[in-house]
Amino acid sequence: MILKILKQDLLKKKIIKWTARLLALGLLLFSLPFYFGYGNPVPFLNPDYSFLDNLWLLIFPLVFISLALGWKYEKLAGILLIMSISTGLLATLIIENEFIFEMMIPLFIGILYLITAFNNNN
105, part of any domain: yes
pLDDT at 37: 81
Q: How many domains is the chain partitioned into structurally?
A: 1
- 40: pLDDT confidence band, cut at 50, 70 and 90? low
SS (H, E, C) the chain: CHHHHHHHHHHHHHHHHHHHHHHHHHHHHHHHHHHHCCCCCCCCCCCCCCHHHHHHHHHHHHHHHHHHHCCCCHHHHHHHHHHHHHHHHHHHHHHHCCCCHHHHHHHHHHHHHHHHHHHHHC
112, part of any domain: yes
15, part of any domain: no
Contact 17, 116 (CB under 8 A): yes
90, part of any domain: yes
Question: What average pLDDT score do residues 73-97 get?
Answer: 96
Euclidean distance between CA atoms 10 and 3, whole angstroms: 10
Domain that holds residue 62: 23-121
Residue 60 has pLDDT above 80, yes or no: yes
Residue 108 has pLDDT above 90, yes or no: yes
Euclidean distance between CA atoms 120 and 106, whole angstroms: 21
